[in-house]
């Protein structure tokens, strides 16, 4: 992977995804709500951008992810599975306590790597304070 800087923003009405890479760090930031089939499709596209980088790990900043429906939960699970199947470990960082409870109630904490915001190891420019 080159030392180039890459940032792609996928804005939608309810969910905005910032995707980026720099040096050996790749990841994306989820902002807003993941509540519809359109949001789920957008997350799938972001996942494909991450997988195109062929990195062994990727980071997702979820500090500004405000809500999930069952479609959103399924989209997160499918993104995680697609990365795992491709040999990329996806780290979900900074989910709110409410969203963590929601994912745990669905049993997703057993398959997803849920981390605190401080553990984010992706490109720092993706974090809310950087934008």
The dihedral of CA 71, 54, 126, 13: what is its sign? Answer: negative
For 38-88, what is each residue's pLDDT tens digit?
A: 999 999 999 999 999 999 999 999 999 999 999 999 999 999 999 999 999
In 3-state terms the chain splits into helix, strand, coil percentages (rounded to 5) of 40, 35, 25
Residue 1: pLDDT band (50, 70, 90) is: very low
Mode of pairing for the β-strands spanning 89-93 and 25-34: unpaired
Q: Which pTM does this prediction carry?
A: 0.88
C-alpha span between 87 and 94 (Å, rounded): 23
Q: Could you tell me which CATH class the domain 5-130 is placed in?
A: alpha beta
pLDDT at 87: 96
């Amino acid at each position: 992977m080159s030392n180039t800087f890459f940032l792609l923003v996928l804005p939608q009405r309810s969910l905005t995804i910032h995707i980026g890479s720099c040096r050996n760090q790749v990841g994306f930031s989820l902002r807003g709500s993941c509540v519809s089939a359109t949001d789920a499709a957008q997350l799938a596209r972001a996942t494909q951008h991450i997988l195109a980088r062929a990195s062994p790990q990727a980071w997702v900043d979820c500090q500004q992810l405000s809500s999930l429906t069952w479609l959103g939960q399924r989209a997160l699970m499918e993104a995680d599975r697609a990365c795992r199947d491709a040999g990329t470990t996806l780290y979900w960082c900074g989910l709110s306590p409410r969203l963590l409870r929601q994912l745990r109630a669905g049993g997703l904490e057993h398959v997803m790597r849920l981390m605190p915001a401080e553990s984010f190891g992706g490109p720092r420019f993706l974090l809310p304070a950087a934008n």
